[in-house]
Amino acid sequence: MVTLSSNLLFIAFILYLVATLFYGGSIKSKKEIDEEKGTNRWGKIAVFLTIIGFISQLGYFITRWIAAGHAPVSNLFEFTTFFGMALVGAFIVIYFIYRTPLLGLFTMPVAVLVIAYASMFPRDITPLIPALQSYWLKIHVTTAAMGEAILSISFAAGLIYLVKAIDQTKSSKRTFWLEMVMFSMVTTLGFVLIASTFSGLGYHETFKWIDKNKNEVSVDYTMPALTGPHEYKLQTKGAFKPLVAMPALINAKKLNTVIWSIMAGLLLYGLIRLALRKRIAAALQPFVKNIKLDFVDEISYRSVLIGFPVFTLGALIFAMIWAQMAWTRFWGWDPKEVWALITFLFYAAFLHLRLSKGWHGEKSAWLAVIGFVIIMFNLVAVNLVIAGLHSYAGS
């Protein structure tokens, strides 16, 4: 069952990857049909592959649930793969409302990166810790992930808007920050590549260290340790000695992963820029030349309008009910709770500025991009670096 589940996820990943190429082909095709009326043969094939991929990933989710005996959203691998599936599902629904293949060209690479990112974490099925043995696990986590997925569609639409609207012929703050968004996506790919490389080489080193509760524990690194754990003792002879030890509050192993990812992202981004001889955003502009800015602005806004209440329900209301049951308090200022609140407040401000202050167009697109950065910071940095009650999600 576990093998079947893994195979279904791999099939979905490949189908999403191929679908991305077809979405690109549908934009480049000379027989392209106006987005508001439909799509061409390339686009139809892309959507078909996306749907088959989604069904395959849904099969992965169901078979893993059967094998585990609980909803597969209890660790970082499971949650992130579910987030990727929810993102694809949200795209499929919105595609059949607006019928634009261009949205797939910008959404599917994000889904592919999310699933590839998830695959770098331990995939073993483990028993639930006591705090997770509740039906609120599937209610809270799945609803929160679906809300974030719908909000992420707003990011894709906002990115399309910015790629078309921003003048790439001259350097400016707008081109710099848009390119920083592109760099962050390349960095995610860099993480996948560097993690796969060290995994293939079989790199391993073990440390004993003192955690925040003054207990001596051990930790295994799968990448050379640039940042070591608190008061560490290196157990592996001949292994790389850390450049610096981190305080117990910081998860040194996962911070090490982030640093390696950034370095790999810088190298990969440099190679891409060398090959393109222009900014990545500038290279994408030919794909968006026929899209109407008002059209993608509406998609971005509608995605927030739908995703915001779903996220609020899952990440705040359901979360507080579960927290009361698991920890006898509704709120505890845990890092994940704080960032869920920040996300809620940001999108509340987004809707306020849009409806009351008239922040349409480019301003709205930037807000959509910033909102996605907040979501990914919560998923990546908070899970990987900051220790808290939700640290089990980073396992």
Domain boundaries along the sequence of the chain: 2-168+278-394, 189-274
How many whole angstroms separate alpha carbon 339 and alpha carbon 315?
10
Residue 161's pLDDT is: 95
In this predicted structure, the answer to whether residue 231 has a pLDDT above a threshold of 50 is yes
Secondary element (H or E) of residue 334: none
Share of the chain above pLDDT 70, in %: 91
Instruction: Tell me what the pLDDT averaged over the chain comes to.
Output: 86
Question: How many residues are given for the chain?
Answer: 395
- pLDDT band at residue 125 under the 50/70/90 scheme: confident
CB atoms within 10 A of CB 7: 14
Q: What phi, psi does 317 have (nearest 5°)?
A: -65, -55
Per-residue pLDDT tens over the stretch 36-82: 445 578 888 999 999 999 999 999 999 998 888 888 888 888 889 99
Per-residue pLDDT tens over the stretch 94-106: 999 888 888 999 9
Tell whether the torsion through CA atoms of 81, 53, 194 and 64 is positive or negative. Answer: positive
**Weakest mean pLDDT among 204-208, 210-214, 232-236:** 210-214
CB atoms within 10 A of CB 279: 19
Residue 131's pLDDT is: 62
State the amino acid at position 39 in one-letter form. Answer: T
Tokens linked to 82: 């579910």
Residue 33's pLDDT is: 45
Q: What is the DSSP string of 292-304?
A: -HHHHHHHHHHHH
How many Cα atoms within 13 Å fall on the side-chain side of residue 130?
3
Higher pLDDT, 353 or 329: 353
Residue 132's pLDDT is: 65
Angle between helices 173-201 and 136-165 (to 10 degrees): 130
SS3 73: coil
Span 197-208, mean pLDDT?
A: 88
Look up tokens 């940095």; give the residue: 381
How many Cα atoms within 13 Å fall on the side-chain side of residue 128?
18
In this predicted structure, the answer to whether residue 135 has a pLDDT above a threshold of 70 is yes
Q: Do residues 365 and 165 make contact, with C-beta atoms less than 8 angstroms apart?
A: yes
Look up tokens 């981004």; give the residue: 269
Residue 127's pLDDT is: 75
Strands of 205-210's sheet in order across: 216-221, 205-210, 233-234
Residue 310's pLDDT is: 95
- pLDDT band at residue 350 under the 50/70/90 scheme: very high
Look up tokens 């043995």; give the residue: 133
How many whole angstroms separate alpha carbon 78 and alpha carbon 203?
24
In this predicted structure, the answer to whether residue 394 has a pLDDT above a threshold of 50 is no
Cα–Cα separations (whole angstroms), residue 349 to 112, 280, 304: 30, 30, 11
Residue 270, classified by CB atoms within 10 Å of its CB into exposed (0-12), middle (13-18) or buried (19+), is exposed
State the pTM of this model: 0.85
Q: Helix, strand, coil % (nearest 5) of the chain?
A: 70, 5, 25
Higher pLDDT, 109 or 336: 109
Span 254-271, mean pLDDT?
A: 90
In this predicted structure, the answer to whether residue 384 has a pLDDT above a threshold of 80 is no
Q: With helix as H, strand as E and coil as C, how does 172-239 read? A: CHHHHHHHHHHHHHHHHHHHHHHHHHHHHHCCCEEEEEECCCCCEEEEEECCCCCEECCCCEECCCCC
How many whole angstroms separate alpha carbon 82 and alpha carbon 71?
10
In this predicted structure, the answer to whether residue 391 has a pLDDT above a threshold of 60 is no
In this predicted structure, the answer to whether residue 392 has a pLDDT above a threshold of 50 is no
Per-residue pLDDT tens over the stretch 289-318: 888 999 999 999 999 999 999 999 988 898
List the one residue out of 200, 197, 183 whose CA is nearest residue 262: 183
Q: Do residues 240 and 217 make contact, with C-beta atoms less than 8 angstroms apart?
A: no
List the one residue out of 163, 176, 152, 187 whose CA is nearest residue 370: 152
Higher pLDDT, 158 or 213: 158
In this predicted structure, the answer to whether residue 186 has a pLDDT above a threshold of 70 is yes
Residue 123's pLDDT is: 82
Higher pLDDT, 186 or 31: 186
